Structure 1
Amino acid sequence: MPVNKQTNSSLHPRNKHLNGYDLQKLKKSNPKLKEFVFINDWKKETIDFANPTAVFELNKAILFADYKIKHWELNKNSLCPAIPGRVDYIHHLADLISEDKNNIAKGYKIKVLDIGTGSSLIYPILGAQEYEWDFVATEIDRNSIFHAEMNINKNVWLKKKIQLRFQENSDQILKGILFDTDKFDAIICNPPFFKSREDNWKSSTKKFQNLSKNKEATTVQNFAGHANELWCPGGEKAFITKLIYESKEFKNQLKWITTLVSSKDTLKPLISVLEYHKAAQIEIIEMKHGQKATRILAWKWD
Structure 2
Amino acid sequence: MHPRNRYQGHYDLVALFRVEPSLKNWSTLTPAGKVSLNFSEPEAVKLLNKALLKQWYHLEWTLSDDHLCPPIPGRADYLHHLADCLAEDLPIHRGPQISVLDIGCGANCVYPLIGNAEYGWRFTGSDCQPESICAAQQLLAMNAGLTRSIRLRRQKDQRKIFDGIIQHNEFYHATLCNPPFHTSEQAAAQGTARKNNHLGIAEQQLNFAGRHHELWCLGGEIGFITQMIEESLLFRHQVLWFTTLVAKQQSLVPLRKVLKEKSVPVIREIEMGQGNKKSRLLVWSFHNKRERKALVKPA
Structure 2 length as normaliser, TM-score? 0.93
* Partner Cα separation in structure 1 for residue 14 and residue 205 of structure 2: 31
Q: Deviations over 1:127-149 (max 9, x none)?
A: 10111000000011111111100
Deviation at residue 51 of structure 1 after TM alignment: 0.6
Q: Deviations over 1:35-87 (max 9, x none)?
A: 11121212111111111011000010000111110x21224410011000110
Kept in 2, the 8 Å contact 1:197–1:231? The answer is yes
Of 22, 26, 31, the residue aligned with 1:41 is 31
**Which residue does 1:88 correspond to in 2?**
77
Of 274, 287, 292, the residue aligned with 1:289 is 274
Deviation at residue 104 of structure 1 after TM alignment: 6.2
Kept in 2, the 8 Å contact 1:286–1:294? The answer is yes
Give the fraction of aligned pairs with identical amino acids, expressed as a percent: 40
* Partner Cα separation in structure 2 for residue 301 and residue 265 of structure 1: 24
**Which residue does 1:267 correspond to in 2?**
252
Letter in 1 for 2:212: A
Kept in 2, the 8 Å contact 1:12–1:88? The answer is yes
* Partner Cα separation in structure 2 for residue 75 and residue 53 of structure 1: 10
Kept in 2, the 8 Å contact 1:73–1:147? The answer is no
Letter in 1 for 2:12: D
* Partner Cα separation in structure 1 for residue 278 and residue 204 of structure 2: 27
* Partner Cα separation in structure 2 for residue 44 and residue 75 of structure 1: 30
* Partner Cα separation in structure 1 for residue 268 and residue 222 of structure 2: 17
Of 67, 74, 77, the residue aligned with 1:78 is 67
Q: CA RMSD in A?
A: 1.4
Letter in 1 for 2:217: C
Matches within 5 A, 1:160-175: 160-175=148-163
* Partner Cα separation in structure 2 for residue 188 and residue 216 of structure 1: 34
**Which residue does 2:51 correspond to in 1?**
61
Q: Are 1:228 and 2:226 an aligned pair?
A: no
**Which residue does 1:183 correspond to in 2?**
171
Letter in 2 for 1:77: D
In structure 1, stretches of 5+ residues that fail to align are 1-10
Structure 1 length as normaliser, TM-score? 0.92
Of 196, 216, 227, the residue aligned with 1:242 is 227
Letter in 1 for 2:158: S
User: 1:79 is paired with a residue of what secondary structure?
Assistant: coil
Of 6, 11, 14, the residue aligned with 1:24 is 14
**Which residue does 1:51 correspond to in 2?**
41
**Which residue does 1:199 correspond to in 2?**
187
Deviation at residue 267 of structure 1 after TM alignment: 0.5
Deviation at residue 296 of structure 1 after TM alignment: 0.2
**Which residue does 1:6 correspond to in 2?**
none
**Which residue does 1:218 correspond to in 2?**
205
User: 1:260 is paired with a residue of what secondary structure?
Assistant: strand
